[in-house]
């Protein structure tokens, strides 16, 4: 079993073939990230057909300028009705200037409130904004721990320690396989395995051997192999532990026999 903890599958025009390829290789679960009402509706449809398919929903910080005025209420409805297993991806992105910091903070706080109201874990997007993210999360949670993951983590060891201190997980993407990612691999080496998840972020960030191609859930196995290489352990250990970590984070143990 393996668990791709972050992929934008409902954004594909035809996701069926890539789901079939992933399932034929090995039984797996997937957290599909819905970033607008269209991908949320499609994600719901896929989850009805595939018991290993789970949804999360929120608005990526870079998309906030074009957010639908009803998106927040649609995510709340999905949370209330049990259609989603997490709130995300939400957060802060200061690398790009697509949305103002004030707008990003406003929606981050709103999505955090939804997560706390409906007792859902949070999937964070964060680039060059860790201190602000930590401060806002601490303020909204009154410094109480809540379940969360830093998706596609690319920060420093100091930032990783801030994540771990709050009881959150870090998720590794294909970026850890890239030739110039030595510092990130050092972070992965030092983070305990029971705090790591793996992801593809499909269709983005294909791993090194697939660079230039459209990423898909099956390719998360290359991320698993790279973590095993970094930590000098068997890939099956990484596959099993990251699978269990995701089940714990997203409270999906009831579906683990699928």
Query: Is the pTM here over 0.85, yes or no?
Result: yes
Helices and strands (H and E) in the chain: how many: 9, 8
pLDDT band at 256 (very low <50, low <70, confident <90, very high): low
pLDDT at 144: 85
| Backbone dihedral angles phi then psi of residue 84, each to the nearest 5 degrees | -125, 155
For 63-89, what is the mean pLDDT?
96
pLDDT at 35: 97
CATH class of the domain defined by 2-255: alpha beta
Question: Closest by alpha carbon to 223, among 41, 64, 90, 28?
Answer: 28
Q: pLDDT digits over 128-164, tens only?
A: 999 999 999 999 998 889 999 999 999 999 999 999 9
Residue for token pair 């269709």: 203
Domain ranges across the chain:
2-255
Evaluate if residue 53 carries a pLDDT over 90: yes
pLDDT band at 27 (very low <50, low <70, confident <90, very high): confident
């Amino acid at each position: 079993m393996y668990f791709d903890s972050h992929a934008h599958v409902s954004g594909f025009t035809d996701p069926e073939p890539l789901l079939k390829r992933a399932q034929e290789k090995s039984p797996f679960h997937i957290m599909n990230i819905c970033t607008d009402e269209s991908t949320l509706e499609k994600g719901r449809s896929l989850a009805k057909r595939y018991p290993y398919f789970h949804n999360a929903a929120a608005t990526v910080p870079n998309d906030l300028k074009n957010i639908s005025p009803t998106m927040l209420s649609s995510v709340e409805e999905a949370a209330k009705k049990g259609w989603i297993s997490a709130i995300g991806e939400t957060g802060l992105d200061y690398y790009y200037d697509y949305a103002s910091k004030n707008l990003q903070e406003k929606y981050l706080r709103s999505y955090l409130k939804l997560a706390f109201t409906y007792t859902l874990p949070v999937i964070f997007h964060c680039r060059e904004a860790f201190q602000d993210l930590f401060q806002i999360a601490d303020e909204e949670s009154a410094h109480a721990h809540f379940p969360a993951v830093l998706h596609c983590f690319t920060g420093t060891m100091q930032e990783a320690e801030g994540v771990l201190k709050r009881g959150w997980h870090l998720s590794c993407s294909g970026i850890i396989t890239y030739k110039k990612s030595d510092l990130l691999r050092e972070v992965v080496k030092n983070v305990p395995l029971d705090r790591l998840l793996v992801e593809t972020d499909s269709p983005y960030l294909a791993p090194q051997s697939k660079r230039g191609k459209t990423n898909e859930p099956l390719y998360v196995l290359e991320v698993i192999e790279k973590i095993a290489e970094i930590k000098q352990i068997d890939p099956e250990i990484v596959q099993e532990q990251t699978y269990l970590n995701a089940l714990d984070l997203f409270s999906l143990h009831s579906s683990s026999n699928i």
